Amino acid sequence: MTQLSGGVIDTPAAVNTVPTTTKTATDSVQADQDKFMKLLITQLQNQDPLNPMDNAAMTSQLAQLSTVTGINKVNATLESLRADQADSAAMGALNLIGKGVLVEGKGIKLTASTAEDGTTTSSAVFGIDLASAADTVEIAIVDKSGKTVRSMALPANAQIGTYPITWDGTMDDKTTIAPAGDYTFTVTAKSNGATLTSATPLQLAGVASVSTGSGGVKLNTTLGPITLAEVKEVL
């Protein structure tokens, strides 16, 4: 597996992926053609002089050769396009290094920072993905003991989409700041009085590096390896 970090490819082996793949596919097509022609020539050389091969049969075999060659060329082209797409995805993923992404999950990481004047501020980022519109979307942030420390809500009549949410650590009493640390949250979305199952909680992950390999492009994040398909939004 090749790992990309800091915008630099650690192992340059992946650079030759596309030319090698294309050359191999082309060689395979040529090899199939050579085998077919050898068999046909052998068949002609060993045919019965008194009962030679029918012209229609030869034409049929040549047509089969043309069909097989065409299919092989299409396969070679598709393989080349697949390799090009993989390389493009890897290069595009490099732009995510050092950024935060929202992925499915219920975790919240509340962090605190102190300014030069001694003022301490807290912050956390999470999100919600709505696959269908909702009349109301309520959020409950819970600490490790299971106690709800902050209740929030999206604006009424939320439409389909991804919603990044920030939390300054303020608890429900509006004055106390929750301790820095790990929290979880739940989402309850309703439409016409019915609870929706299409509201997905999202948590923040920081992208540290990018890996490529047989499994495709992977983002190595603070939550572990994820695929590009798992990213709901880039912050």
Element (H, E) at 48: none
What's the predicted TM-score (pTM) here?
0.64
Q: How far is CA 149 from the centre of its chain?
A: 34
Burial of 123 (0-12, 13-18, 19+ CB in 10 A): middle
Vertex 99 angle, CA 142 and 12, to 5°: 135
Per-residue confidence in pLDDT tens, the chain, 235 aa: 444 444 333 333 333 333 444 455 556 666 766 777 777 677 767 776 666 666 666 667 666 766 766 777 777 666 665 655 656 667 778 888 999 999 999 999 999 998 888 889 999 999 999 999 999 999 999 999 999 999 999 999 999 999 999 999 999 998 999 999 999 999 999 999 999 999 999 999 999 998 887 777 889 999 999 998 899 999 9
